[in-house]
Amino acid sequence: MPMMTADQYEASLRALNLEVYMFGKRVTNVVDDPIIRPSMNAVAKTYELAHDPAYADLMTARSHLSGKRINRFTHIHQSTDDLVKKSKMGRLLGRKTGCCFQRCVGMDALNALSIITYNIDQKHETHYNERFKRYLATVQEKDLVCDGAMTDPKGDRSLPPHRQPDPDHYLRIVEKREDGIVVRGAKAHQTGAVNSHEVIVMPTIAMGEADRDYAVSFALPSDARGIIYILGRQSCDTRKLEGGAMDQGNMLFGGHEALVVFDDVFVPWDRVFMCGEYEFAGSLVEMFAAYHRQSYACKVGVGDVLIGAAQLAAEYNGAARASHVKDKLIEMNHLNETLYCGCLACATEGKKKLSGTYAVNTLLANIHKQNVTRFPYEIARLAQDIAGGLMVTLPSQKDLDGDATGKWVQKYFKAQPGIPTADRMRILRLIENLTLGTAAVGYLTESMHGAGSPQAQRIMIGRKINMAEKKTAAMRLCGIDVKSE
């Protein structure tokens, strides 16, 4: 069964026995919980579209291991065309869901590990790459969702892992056994964690020899014994409990983040992909980060939704013909398409690595992500400007439907003739959701901090820019002897 359907995916989650907590209580039914369900719907869309002939070229690929048709989210990039299709797929799904659809991080972890495990083997004569490929074959055959778990809590950020007052603030190996290892620690900000079948753990920073026990990468079933999930809060999250679908803004889809605790969890050797090779921790982080920074093509798709919502808000408000509104919408489109240029550029400039996997251009991936930390905020500001203050002062859907209040809400929030008041309220709630509510986590905060902070990208830009080449070009044009430099 190379590709699951959306219904089969939902059934597969019901078969898991996850230990999940939210609001201080254990969640016994993760799939049907009203706060978690919208995020599962978003992941399910990645399965649904893979079976739609209109999107088959973007959503599926041919496995280099089995030759079978597989979901692209389980694919290892075999060409720059694969990298380009990855970006186009991200935009498509962002537009379809209006939120984070949660499978990119696992895809990026798989591709990074396909490169770094090969490199470790070349130096240490280990067998991680073959082990990884066997694991990958299972992921592809079962069409699994993988949670890529990189970000540790980090504790005191001025100290390396081995000097932390609490040694568990970075995930670490606490025991090596004949049949595997035992790990302890946690991974924070885990997108879509409880919608995943597998958890793929990677180190979060470059490490020295003293940090050897923290240089570990492995994969486990998401319901492995000792893994605990604590769901994070999001703005307006309890609106999903109120029964008023309109007040949610995005009525179908959403996201979630979790703290994933590893309480002395056993990992068998056949699922270990790095174990103490500390000199490769940094390169794994950089490779994963480059892939994941490209993945922010999804924000272009969400931007498409927000721009469309802003246009509709202008029309519903009767302001669409105002020149300043038209100019703001042009600026929103300019910024959004500039982001698209960046994710395509790092894909088309990708190169084949020794393992055979194609990687994005690291410099351009970081340039793209640096823009993502800025442009969605300006797009959101302009959308709020166009929407007006009613976006955050609207009464609830219950007031719209109420016997005593409905007629007044209908009367006084009516604007354009022919446009139902309810439709005007819906589009304003969507803009609120995308820029302030639960979707703002995926569109704004994730744009800032996802795949590393803005400063992490600037560091990589500084490393990858060839300044000597630029100086030489300038010297030659103005007659300075290049040899004197």
In single-letter form, the type of residue at position 172 comes to: R
SS3 state at 128: helix
Give catalytic status of residue 292 as yes or no: yes
CB neighbours (10 Å) of residue 337?
Answer: 12
333, 287, 277, 334: which is closest to 452 by C-alpha?
Answer: 287
| Number of separate domains in the chain | 2
pTM recorded for the entire structure:
0.96
Q: 17 in a domain, yes or no?
A: yes
| Nearest residue to 231 (alpha-carbon basis) of 18, 55, 467 | 18
Tell me the two tokens of residue 185: 């620690």
Residues 6+ apart with CB under 8 A from 182: 173, 174, 175, 176, 264, 265, 266, 267
φ/ψ (deg, to 5) at 146: -110, 130
Contact 106, 54 (CB under 8 A): no
Question: Does residue 47 carry a catalytic annotation?
Answer: no
Structure tokens at 320: 């669409």
In a domain, 88, yes or no: no
Q: How far apart are CA 116 and CA 122, in angstroms?
A: 10
pLDDT of 485 reads: 54
Q: Evaluate whether residue 251 is within a structural domain.
A: yes
Whether the CB-CB separation of 112 and 288 falls below 8 Å is answered with yes
CA torsion through residues 118, 120, 123, 128, sign: negative
Nearest CA among 72, 105, 125 for reference residue 202: 105
CATH number of the domain where residue 451 is located: 1.20.140.10
Residue 57 in any domain: the answer is no
Helix (H/G/I), strand (E/B), else coil: 468 = helix
Residues 31 and 11 in one domain: yes
What mean pLDDT is predicted for residues 348-374?
Answer: 97
Are 375 and 436 in a shared domain?
yes
Catalytic residue among 47, 77, 99, 100: 100
Closest C-alpha to 372, from 350, 347, 343: 343
Q: Decide if pLDDT at 484 tops 70.
A: no
Q: Is the pLDDT of residue 453 over 80?
A: yes
Q: Are residues 260 and 403 in the same domain?
A: no
Residue pLDDT, tens place only, 257-277: 999 999 999 999 999 999 999
Please check whether residue 410 lies inside any domain of the structure. yes
Residues 231 and 302 in one domain: no
Integer Cα distance of 222 and 260 in angstroms: 10
296 is catalytic: yes
CATH code, 202: 2.40.110.10
Of 73, 139, 141, residue with least CA distance to 102: 73
Per-residue pLDDT tens over the stretch 264-311:
999 999 999 999 999 999 999 999 999 999 999 999 999 999 999 999
Contact 126, 133 (CB under 8 A): no
Does pLDDT of 359 surpass 60?
yes
pLDDT for the residue 318? 96
- Contact of 133 with 66, CB cutoff 8 Å: no
Average pLDDT of 191-213?
97
Do 125 and 184 have their domain in common? yes
Residue among 245, 380, 256, 400 nearest 309 (CA): 380
**Are residues 338 and 264 located together in one domain of the fold?**
no
Per residue in 44-89, pLDDT (tens digit) is 999 999 999 999 999 999 999 999 999 999 999 999 999 999 999 9
Q: Provide the CA 395 distance to its chain's centre, in angstroms.
A: 33
Position 440 confidence tier, pLDDT thresholds 50, 70, 90: confident
**Integer Cα distance of 3 and 435 in angstroms:** 34
Of 340, 218, 240, 338, nearest to 40 by C-alpha is: 240
| Judgement on whether residues 140 and 11 belong to the same structural domain of the protein | yes
Among residues 302, 298, 252, which one has the least CA distance to residue 41?
A: 252
Are residue 363 and residue 249 in the same domain, yes or no?
Answer: no
Q: 82-101, pLDDT tens digit by residue?
A: 999 999 999 999 999 999 99
**What number is the average pLDDT over the span 215-242?**
95
Q: Is 191 a catalytic residue?
A: yes
Report how far residue 172's alpha carbon sits from residue 201's, in angstroms, rounded to the nearest whole number.
11
The response to whether 97 counts as a known ligand-binding position is: no
Domain range enclosing 393: 293-472
CB 161 within 8 A of CB 172: yes
Q: Which residues pair with 221 in a beta bridge?
A: 198
Assess whether 232 and 263 both reside in one domain.
Answer: yes
Distance (Å, rounded) from C-alpha 433 to C-alpha 466? 42
Torsion angle, CA of 202/92/232/248, rounded to 10 degrees?
180
Write down which residue in 281, 315, 349 finishes a domain: 281
- DSSP class of residue 414 equals -
Domain boundary among the residues 257, 281, 305 is at 281
- Pairing between strand 19-22 and 227-231? parallel
**Residue 469: Cβ within 10 Å count:** 8
Q: Say if 209 falls within a structural domain.
A: yes
Catalytic residue among 278, 292, 316, 432: 292
Q: Please pick, among 117, 191, 357, 435, the residue that the annotation labels catalytic.
A: 191
Residue 58 included in any domain: no
237, part of any domain: yes
User: Are residues 274 and 244 part of one domain?
Assistant: yes
Same domain? For 71 and 201 the reply is yes
Of the residues 64, 75, 104, 198, only one is catalytic, namely 104
Cα distance between residue 192 and residue 43, in whole Å: 8
Q: Are 126 and 279 in contact (CB under 8 A)?
A: no
Q: Can 141 be counted among the known catalytic residues?
A: no
pLDDT of residue 296: 96
Q: Are residues 126 and 173 in the same domain?
A: yes
Residue 63's pLDDT is: 97
Domain boundary among 281, 310, 332: 281
